[in-house]
Amino acid sequence: MGPATPDHPLRILHIEDSLADHQLARRTLLRSTTAFAIEHIDSLQALQQCDLCSFDLILADYRLPGFTALDVWAHVAQQPGHPPCVLLSGAIGEAAAVEAMRQGFSDYLLKDDMARLPHVLARAIEVHEARRTREQAVAELAQSERRLAELTEHLQRSIEAERAAIAREIHDDIGGALTAVKFDLAWIGRHASSADIGAHAQAASEMLQHAIGASQRIMMNLRPPVLDQGLVAAVQWLAENFERRTGITVRLHSRAAALALAADIELVAYRTAQEALTNVGKYASARQVRIDLSDDGAVLTLEVSDDGCGMAPEARAKPQSFGLRGLHERARTVGGWLDVSSRPGQGTSVIVSIPLPSQPTEQPPQRPPA
């Protein structure tokens, strides 16, 4: 709440078994500039019947007939949006006061120091408001992060679905059309009436073969059909293709020839390996790459390590370093996490770890169409 005003006085619930002490607290507040309205109760039953959200602060004695301030807090703490509690008591001992503060009381004041009551109450409300604002900000941030994670997962699924659709279009339409044109060019070449026409048909056929190869390569990068054979086979194909294209030696080590995994987990691991190898080819200046695959301890682990130039710490924090950030988000979509270890001149290691279901399903996982 804001500062107390005559129109909006500070609403106080005073739990006190001594009417004289209650009147003393009231007179102390009257001498201050704080506008207040105070309600007095002296039993735990009366407290349980109160609407605590209608008060801005609870002021409680420590020892009361049949209960203590700790019993008061046990009830108050169960109420959502409860106000702060301040302990106003006689000499109860340091240990009891510390325990009350540890339980959740905002402050502690001795009755012998009653003149400080307005200041203590104002400070307790200020701290409580600051804590509530911070908790609200944390909750809103957590909610925002959840929404961002959900959006990221949706985008990743949409991207993969779009990739699969484009791969099908290339295979079914473009691939089929290019193959038909290739046969027509071959027919023209065989039936050419002059050497020039035959030479042009041969050149066109070679260019067409290049286009067919490019379309197949693009289709494989979008979503390789080898994924349908399992993660180990897909990563092996990825490693061989990378080695053939870059000349960098790649060694794959797997505990098993095949791993029984859900399709979404396979895809996250495959894309991690793909992005890691892409980064090696672009930046690492490496001579060798090692890929390790294992499912020990009910956790799938894929590690891609190289002997390249490594990364400086500031390189990972660059504003445009979306590759690694994308891998972090991909891992989160299946409950996993990504670790990157690198030092300048000592290579880089990218590790994705994904918890696996404790009991595999009897039916094989459904994979998206190639």
pLDDT in tens, 252-302: 999 888 888 888 899 899 989 999 999 999 999 999 999 999 988 789 999
CB atoms within 10 A of CB 98: 11
Question: What fold, for 10-136?
Answer: Rossmann fold (3.40.50)
- pLDDT of 368 reads 47
| Phi, then psi, of 270 in degrees rounded to 5 | -65, -45
pLDDT, the chain, mean: 86
315's tokens: 């390189």
Q: Which CATH superfamily is domain 225-370 in?
A: Histidine kinase-like ATPase, C-terminal domain (3.30.565.10)
- How confident is the model over 315-327, as a mean pLDDT? 69
* Alpha-helical regions (H) of the chain: 19-30, 44-48, 69-76, 94-103, 117-169, 175-190, 195-222, 231-246, 263-279, 313-316, 322-333
pLDDT band at 179 (very low <50, low <70, confident <90, very high): confident
Q: How far apart are CA 108 and CA 85, in angstroms?
A: 9
- How confident is the model over 234-253, as a mean pLDDT? 93
Residue 321 has pLDDT above 70, yes or no: no
Q: Which of 3-17, 99-113, 224-238, 309-323 has the lowest mean pLDDT?
A: 309-323
The model's pTM is 0.56
Q: Which of 171-175, 208-212, 261-265 has the lowest mean pLDDT?
A: 171-175
H-helix or E-strand spanning residue 67:
strand 67-68
Q: How many Cα atoms within 13 Å fall on the side-chain side of residue 6?
A: 0
Residue 194 has pLDDT above 80, yes or no: yes
- pLDDT of 5 reads 53
Domain boundaries, the chain: 10-136, 225-370
Name the percent of the chain lying above pLDDT 90. 44
Closest by Cα among 259, 268, 235 to 157: 268
Summarised one tens digit per residue, pLDDT across range 112-141 is 999 999 999 999 999 999 988 998 999 999
Residue 323 has pLDDT above 60, yes or no: yes
H-helix or E-strand spanning residue 337:
strand 337-342
CA–CA distances in Å: residue 294 to residues 153, 181, 189, 236, 301? 25, 46, 53, 14, 5
327's tokens: 């891998």
Q: How far apart are CA 216 and CA 285, in angstroms?
A: 28
Q: Which of 81-85, 94-98, 154-158, 250-254 has the lowest mean pLDDT?
A: 154-158
